[in-house]
């Protein structure tokens, strides 16, 4: 009992001492990093990199790289190149030594650096094991990355941005593919064979709504209202269906697929199905507001 009373008195005294310390000294006693270092199990790392479909052509950036194990695995087992950043200089030094020991020092580089002050635009894949608040601070920068950039996180999500894929191998791993910005109106042009099989030019005004990779909308096909069906957006790849109902006796679905590049979408579409389908080109330009 006397030992217990002594311990309680000691803890109380320590707490009071912290309260009366100068503010600067008290802050030094707090955890100095936004994200504490908790190593990700190697089996989870491999699942994260598999989920992101990492290849030797990828440049992987690990934000909050800790002891470097994620990036070293990406280099050693997937052939990728990359950069890890962390505020802890001791962990960065450990990562550099570990990369050299693994024989991947030329492909796996590490810097002691604030991830919020790091240029992440070169990345084709970003890996993260960050607390939710840190991830939400980072989310605007992630959404501004090149469409198609893959983001993979251990355990924590980006709130209402629904993952494109999820796995649960020991721990949760979440994948997002940065979507192109396609909300708004688009003016489309394409040609279709008419009743006499001669090519006839057509126009569609396409209006799309977007929440991350979720897309819906409607169209005006030759002046008539048309529903946009089965819209999909993955990175810069867009697909959707519009029904060609100019002739009710021979109406058919138009299956559009295209690549978004800034203010232009270009691709091909199929009219109909089976042996009767035809393939055509199409192009859309973002309408001036």
pLDDT in 10s for each residue of the chain, 289 residues: 333 333 344 344 444 333 344 434 433 433 445 566 788 899 999 999 999 999 999 999 999 999 999 999 999 999 999 999 999 999 999 999 999 999 999 999 999 999 999 999 999 999 999 999 999 999 999 999 999 999 999 999 999 999 999 999 889 999 999 999 999 999 998 888 765 556 788 889 999 999 999 999 999 987 888 999 999 999 999 999 999 887 777 889 999 999 999 999 999 999 999 998 999 999 999 998 7
Q: What is the pTM of this model?
A: 0.84
Q: Judge whether 68 and 98 are in contact, CB under 8 Å.
A: yes
Dist CA 189 CA 205 (whole Å): 9
The CATH class given to the 42-177 domain equals: alpha beta
Q: Are residues 108 and 82 in contact, defined by beta-carbon separation less than 8 angstroms? A: yes
From the options 3.10.450.50, 3.40.50.280, 3.60.150.10, 2.40.128.120, give the CATH code of 184-286: 2.40.128.120
d(CA 54, CA 70): 12
The CATH 2.40.128.120 portion of the chain extends over 184-286
Question: What burial letters (b/e) apply to 209-222, b meaning 16+ CB within 10 Å?
Answer: ebebbebebebebe
Q: How far apart are the first and last CA of the chain?
A: 77
Residues of the chain with CATH 3.40.50.150: 42-177
CA distances from 138 to 126, 149, 158, 174 (A): 12, 15, 9, 16
């Amino acid at each position: 009992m006397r030992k217990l009373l002594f311990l309680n008195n000691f803890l109380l005294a320590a707490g009071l001492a912290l309260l009366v310390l100068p503010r600067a000294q008290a802050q030094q006693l707090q955890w100095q990093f936004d994200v504490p270092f908790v190593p990700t199990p190697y089996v989870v790392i491999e699942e994260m990199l598999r989920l992101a479909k990492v290849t030797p052509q990828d440049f992987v950036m690990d934000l909050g790289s800790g002891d470097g194990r994620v990036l070293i695995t990406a280099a050693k087992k997937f052939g990728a190149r990359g950069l890890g950043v962390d505020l802890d200089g001791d962990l960065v030094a450990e990562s550099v030594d570990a990369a050299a020991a693994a024989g991947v020092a030329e492909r796996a580089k590490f810097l002691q650096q604030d991830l919020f002050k790091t240029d992440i635009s070169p990345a084709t894949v970003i890996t993260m094991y960050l607390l939710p608040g840190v991830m939400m601070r980072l989310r605007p920068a992630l959404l501004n990355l090149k469409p198609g950039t893959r983001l993979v996180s251990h355990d924590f999500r980006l709130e209402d941005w629904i993952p494109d894929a999820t796995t649960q191998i020991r721990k949760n791993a979440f994948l997002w593919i940065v979507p192109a910005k396609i909300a708004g109106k688009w003016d489309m042009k394409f040609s279709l064979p008419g009743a006499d099989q001669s090519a006839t030019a057509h126009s569609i005004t396409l209006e799309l709504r977007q929440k991350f990779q979720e897309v819906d909308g409607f169209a005006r096909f030759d002046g008539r209202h048309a529903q946009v069906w089965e819209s999909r957006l993955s990175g810069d790849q867009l697909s959707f269906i519009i029904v060609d109902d100019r002739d009710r006796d021979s109406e058919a679905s138009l299956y559009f697929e295209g690549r978004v590049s800034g203010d232009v979408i270009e691709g091909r579409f199929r009219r109909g199905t089976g042996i009767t389908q035809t393939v055509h080109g199409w192009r859309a330009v973002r309408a001036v507001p």
